[in-house]
A and B are shown apart, each in its own frame.
Chain A
Amino acid sequence: MSAVSIWLTIVGMTLVTLATRSLMLAFGDRIPLPERVQHALRFAPACALAALIVPELLTAQGAWAISLGNARLVAGAAAIAVMLATRSMMATMGLGMAVFLALRHFG
């Protein structure tokens, strides 16, 4: 791409990001949401995060890797166990990263 098209792309991405993030904040009064939908939105963050996390754990270098040899999968499972046991975000990230690095270097 030429420098001009890259800058156009960057400005365009800024606008579409702002549009998606602010759409309902800006026009919420003109787009009334039924109570059912508002209720359903409570589940949005958990669903979005799960949909971001799980494919990251089950792939390695862009291919499916559902085995004990996949350091991300094993370290992710360890992190889930630590979070459920301790409820501490720092412990989860620290131990999860420790397991991940150990498997990467010695596994």
Chain B
Amino acid sequence: MIGHRLFGRDHRIAQARAEAWSCGLCAAAPVTVALAAWGLVAGVAMAKSGLTQAQAIGMSLLVFAGTAQLAALPLIAADAPIWVVLLTATIVNLRFVIFSAGLYPVFRHLPLPRRLLLGFLTGDISFALAFSRWSAQPPGASREKTWFYLGICTGTWLAWQVSSIAGILLGGRVPTHWGLDFMGILALIALVLPMIAGAPAAAGALVASVVAVLAAGMPLKLGLVVAVLAGISAAMAVDIALERTGRER
């Protein structure tokens, strides 16, 4: 009964959706450990930043963007004007515009509210997980892809919210000196390495890293955006160069 309500009436379609959804949930399982550690630390940071518990929980549930939240906290604490906080959050989030362009061909057939929901749920990890899986599949949309992605997002959303709210409620009782947030970085390392297959991707990641380090001092966290754009340009340059030498042979 519950399956029917969640996944629709046609039994075979329902089964295919449920299978793709749980497949996505399984794909997200290993990173949920890291996300939970990271969310816990972000929750503690919010609790300690001077937000009330209700404000911190509201921010976690509504904004659901760890990097932007952590960038905003010191500004809020320093009584910065709202537009400065929003501008910083926008700039930190600009990489999601690039992600949403990548997701568009896969979800273009869905009605607008569902596209907005999938956009709302998209984070670095869900996008990276889905893209490394889809790179080995034919491009374009499929029901399997939509429900697989929803499965991934269910896992990442739950792991983030539960741990982040736990961190907010526990506050100072969580030992932050353990360096739990480092788990998040380790998960990103495990995610990015398989993506760096081939010279263009390797060049892109290298240039993005170097620029991110050099531009780290830029105001409003602009360095991240500059780094991503520089990396993509480098990857494309190498890709085009390889294509040309391939043609000459």
Q: Taking the complex as formed, is A40 at the interface, i.e. its CB lies under 8 A from any CB of chain B?
A: yes
Q: Is the CB of B120 within 8 A of A9?
A: no
Cα A12 to Cα B51 with chains together (Å) = 16
What are 11 inter-chain pairs, A to B, with CB distance below 8 A?
A: A6-B55, A6-B76, A13-B65, A13-B89, A28-B104, A41-B101, A42-B135, A45-B99, A47-B231, A52-B124, A97-B186
Q: Taking the complex as formed, is B112 at the interface, i.e. its CB lies under 8 A from any CB of chain A?
A: yes
Q: Is the CB of A48 within 8 A of B98?
A: yes
Chain B nearest CB, measured from A49 CB (Å): 4
Q: A14-B62, A44-B99 are in contact. Are A49 and B182 (CB under 8 A)?
A: no
Given A13-B68, A92-B190, 11 extra CB contacts under 8 A? A24-B100, A41-B232, A43-B235, A44-B228, A47-B204, A48-B231, A49-B195, A51-B231, A54-B209, A89-B187, A93-B34
| Size class of the A contact interface (CB-based, 8 Å) | 35 or more
Q: Is the CB of A25 within 8 A of B228?
A: no
Q: Taking the complex as formed, is B154 at the interface, i.e. its CB lies under 8 A from any CB of chain A?
A: no
B contact residues around A9 at 8 Å (CB): 72, 76, 82, 85-86
A contact residues around B59 at 8 Å (CB): 10, 13
Q: Taking the complex as formed, is B23 at the interface, i.e. its CB lies under 8 A from any CB of chain A?
A: no
Residues of B within 8 A of A (CB): 30-31, 33-34, 51-52, 55, 58-59, 62-65, 67-69, 72, 76, 79, 82, 85-86, 89-90, 93-105, 107-108, 112, 115-116, 118-120, 122, 124, 127-128, 131-132, 135, 178-179, 182-183, 185-196, 200-201, 204-213, 216, 223-224, 227-228, 231-233, 235-236, 239
Cα A97 to Cα B33 with chains together (Å) = 12
Q: Is the CB of B116 within 8 A of A26?
A: yes
Q: A52-B124, A104-B179 are in contact. Are A44 and B98 (CB under 8 A)?
A: yes
Q: Is the CB of B213 within 8 A of A93?
A: no
B contact residues around A38 at 8 Å (CB): 101, 105
Cα A10 to Cα B194 with chains together (Å) = 36
Residues of A within 8 A of B (CB): 1, 3, 5-14, 16-26, 28-29, 33, 36-59, 71-72, 75-76, 79-80, 83-84, 87, 89-90, 92-93, 96-97, 100-101, 104
- Consensus secondary structure, chain B interface: helix
Cα A21 to Cα B98 with chains together (Å) = 9
Q: A23-B100, A43-B232, A44-B232 are in contact. Are A8 and B82 (CB under 8 A)?
A: yes
Q: Is the CB of B187 within 8 A of A17?
A: no
B contact residues around A84 at 8 Å (CB): 193
Cα A56 to Cα B128 with chains together (Å) = 18
B189 in complex: contacting residue of A6, A42, A92, CB < 8 Å = A92
Cα A30 to Cα B27 with chains together (Å) = 33
Which residue of chain A has the shortest Cβ distance to B118 in the bound complex? A25
Chain B nearest CB, measured from A34 CB (Å): 11
Q: Is the CB of B115 within 8 A of A22?
A: yes
A contact residues around B33 at 8 Å (CB): 90, 93
Q: A44-B232, A48-B208, A72-B185 are in contact. Are A55 and B216 (CB under 8 A)?
A: yes
